[in-house]
Amino acid sequence: MENFVVSARKYRPSDFNSVVGQQHITTTLKNAIKNNHLAQAFLFCGPRGVGKTTCARILAKTINCQHRTSDFEACNQCDSCLAFNNNASFNVHELDAASNNSVDDIRNLVEQVRYAPQQGLYKVYIIDEVHMLSNAAFNAFLKTLEEPPKYAIFILATTEKHKVIPTILSRCQIFDFNRILINDIALHLKYIAEQEKIDAEDEALRLIATKADGALRDALSMFDLIVTYSSGNRLTYLETISNLHILDYDYYFKVVDSLLAGSISNVLLIFDEILKKGFDGNNFIVGLSEHLRDLMVCKDPATVDLIQVSESARDRYLMQSQQASVSFLLSALNICNQCDIQYKASKNQRLHVELALMKMSKLPQALTLAALAQEDSKKKG
Ligand SMILES: Nc1ncnc2c1ncn2[C@@H]1O[C@H](COP(=O)(O)OP(=O)(O)OP(=O)(O)O)[C@@H](O)[C@H]1O
Ligand SMILES: [Mg+2]
Ligand SMILES: [Zn+2]
């Protein structure tokens, strides 16, 4: 049996151009290489799984590459690049500060920095989770960071910039990594699915992308998990929701249809079904609010792009939003919001949600009455 390599490793970008969603950083780094204007200390900040370590390694590889391309990318063919790609290069040192945070660890590193590289131009030191270094370790590091030998480059990475002491911050060029957009993640997953010959439904990929909350690594792990769980070369929306334990958005459409029809009984039955499937009332209300919000932004062509759903789902949203009035959506959102806020404090949480649903089903009627009364008073006035 072939060894299974997780997608996050298999598809780690090998040059700047293939890094997703961090153009502001990759372009700046490439320009610095082009103009020979490279800083010696960098701080890469940002949420987990968005490409900090990846970019640090690409930078290390690119500046040591013997035949950089005309686009200032690593060639991925020379001895140095090959050594990097096989994790065998002597010119890159990675220190995980989460587990090596003592003064001694840093002293070791500082000691190594004194030796010039045997091959290649630069020695690159990547210190991950740098905010975990002890104070004493930080202090032992400061002097080297301030006056490193010219062949040494430091790339510090952290998910918690606010915990990095100012003396370090002021000595580094700081790069803030973005959370990656749902769209970009979904496209990247689509690319990987194609490479792996997996027949994936767009909606499934989009759902994974949404759930990943900006972290590409998380998206890739979820993707792997669901593919392994399913038959292996198909990835469907239904399998994805059951795997990630997400409520099918179909339910929200049904709930809103029933609310618009003023049918309390229907809505209560649907909610019962949802609870029976093991979903939590609070999550349901939050999900319903998001659904109402999506319907709301569909009301205006100017905001329609704010919904982050696949093309096929989009038409469904547009249709339902046509049926609901802005006043209905606003009032329903309000009721959901109140329900969510008071949920934790409520003694009977099921009833609490049911009450909110009942109130919402009465909205269409109440709004019609209010409109009639207004017209009436206009006529009289
Ligand atoms: N911007 C990106 N473009 C393409 N792939 C990415 C990107 N970000 C993350 N990945 C994928 O996720 C994996 C992990 O990314 P990486 O190690 O660079 O994250 P990180 O930002 O260093 O996260 P952490 O803070 O957890 O260390 C990579 O191997 C790659 O497959
Ligand atoms: Mg990392
Ligand atoms: Zn090369």
Q: pLDDT tens-digit profile of 51-91?
A: 999 999 999 999 999 999 999 999 999 999 999 999 999 99
In whole angstroms, what is the distance from residue 333 CA to residue 348 CA?
A: 21
Tokens of 108: 């070791």
pLDDT value of residue 9: 92
Query: Does residue 311 surpass a pLDDT of 90?
Result: no
pLDDT at residue 2 in the model: 64
> 117, exposed or middle or buried, with CB in 10 Å at 0-12, 13-18, 19+?
middle
54 vs 310: which has the higher pLDDT: 54
Mean pLDDT of 184-210: 94
Cα 128 to ligand 2 centroid, rounded to whole Å: 6
Question: What residues does 174 pair with on adjacent strands?
Answer: 43
Amino acid making up residue 291: H
Query: Pocket of ligand 1, candidates 208, 216, 220: which has the most ligand atoms within 8 Å of its Cβ, to mutate?
Result: 216
pLDDT tens-digit map of 139-148? 888 989 989 9
Whether domain 249-371 has CATH 1.20.272.10: the reply is yes
Render pLDDT for 149-184 as a digit per residue (tens, 0 to 9): 999 999 999 999 999 988 899 999 999 999 999 999
Contact 150, 117 (CB under 8 A): no
pLDDT surpassing 80 at residue 3: no
CB 60 within 8 A of CB 153: yes
Residue with CA closest to ligand 1 atom 18: 51
Mean pLDDT, residues 92-115 taken together: 90
pLDDT digits (tens, 9 = 90+) for 328-373: 999 999 999 999 999 999 999 999 999 999 999 999 999 988 888 8
* 352 Cβ inside 6 Å of ligand 1: no
Which tokens in the block code for residue 191?
Answer: 């690319």
Cα–Cα distance measured from residue 225 to residue 240, given in angstroms and rounded to the nearest whole number = 10
Give the span between the Cα atoms of 65 and 60, in whole angstroms.
Answer: 9
Structure-block tokens of residue 269: 């039955």
Segment 283-295 mean pLDDT: 96
Query: Is the CB of 59 within 6 Å of ligand 1?
Result: no
Listed by start position, the domains of the chain span 7-176, 182-244, 249-371
Q: Are 180 and 20 in contact (CB under 8 A)?
A: yes
Ligand of minimum distance to the alpha carbon of 23: 1
- The answer to whether 163 and 127 have CB atoms below 8 angstroms apart is no
What pLDDT score does 1 carry? 54
Q: 182-244: which CATH topology?
A: Helicase, Ruva Protein; domain 3 (1.10.8)
Q: Is the pLDDT of residue 41 over 60?
A: yes
Q: How many CA atoms lie within 13 A of 244 on its CB side?
A: 27
Q: Answer whether 182-244 and 249-371 agree in fold.
A: no
pLDDT at 273 over 70: yes
Mean pLDDT, range 239-267, rounded to an integer: 94
Say which CATH class 7-176 falls into: alpha beta
Residue nearest atom 29 in ligand 1 by C-alpha distance: 12
d(CA 212, CA 354): 30
Mean pLDDT of 274-282: 94
SS3 of 77, please?
coil
Distance CA 18, CA 11 (A): 10
pLDDT at 380 over 90: no
- Name which of 224, 245, 249, 248 is nearest 235 in CA terms: 224
